[in-house]
Amino acid sequence: MIAAQINQRFPPPQFTETGHQLPHLTAPPPRLGALDWLDMGVLLACLALATWLVLRRRQRRELMLLGLFSLLYFGFWRNGCVCAIGSIQNITQALFDSSYALPLTVLVFGVLPLAFALVVGRVFCAAVCPHGAFQDLMLLKPVTLPVWLEHGLRLLAYVYLGLAVVFAATGGGYIICRFDPFVQIFRLTGSLTMILTGVIFLLMSIFIGRPYCRFLCPYGVLLGLAGSVSRWRARITPDKCTLCRRCQNECPFNAINKATPRTLQIDPTPEDKRRLVIRCALLPTVIVAGLWLGGLSGDSLAKAHHTVALAERIHLEDAGAVTGATDASNGFRAEGTPPEKLFAEAHALVHRYVLAGRLCGAWVGLIVGLKLIVLAWRPRRPEFETDAVRCVACARCFEHCPQEHKRRQQKAEINGVLAS
User: Has residue 375 got a pLDDT over 90?
Assistant: no
Instruction: List, in order, residues 6 or more apart from 310 with CB less than 8 Å away.
Output: 328, 329, 332, 342, 346
Report how far residue 86's alpha carbon sits from residue 128's, in angstroms, rounded to the nearest whole number: 15
Q: Are 356 and 362 in contact (CB under 8 A)?
A: no
Long-range contacts of 50-54 (CB under 8 A, 24+ apart): 50/123, 50/124, 50/126, 50/127, 50/128, 50/393, 51/116, 51/120, 51/123, 53/126, 53/127, 53/395, 54/120, 54/121, 54/123, 54/126, 54/233, 54/234, 54/393, 54/395
pLDDT greater at residue 7 or residue 208: 208
Model confidence over 128-172: pLDDT tens digits?
A: 999 999 999 999 999 988 888 988 999 999 999 999 999 999 888
Among 51-60, 229-238, 373-382, 397-406, whose mean pLDDT is lowest?
Answer: 373-382
**Which has more confidence, 127 or 263?**
127
Query: Which three-class secondary structure state does DSSP give residue 256?
Result: strand
Q: φ and ψ at 417, to 5 degrees? A: -65, -45
Contacts of 93 (CB under 8 A, 6+ apart): 100, 102, 168, 169, 171
pLDDT digits (tens, 9 = 90+) for 39-49: 999 999 999 99
pLDDT at 263: 52
E strands, 263-347, in order: none
What is the full DSSP assignment across 367-391?
HHHHHHHHHH-----SS-EE-TTT-
| 89-101 residue pLDDT tens | 999 999 998 889 8
Residue 26: HSE in the Cβ half-sphere, 13 Å Cα cutoff = 8
pLDDT of residue 218: 96
- Residues 277-327 pLDDT 10s: 888 999 999 999 999 999 999 888 898 889 999 999 999 988 888 888 888
- The angle that helices 87-96 and 147-170 make with each other, rounded to 10 degrees, is 40
Of 248, 224, 252, 220, the closest CA to residue 236 belongs to: 248
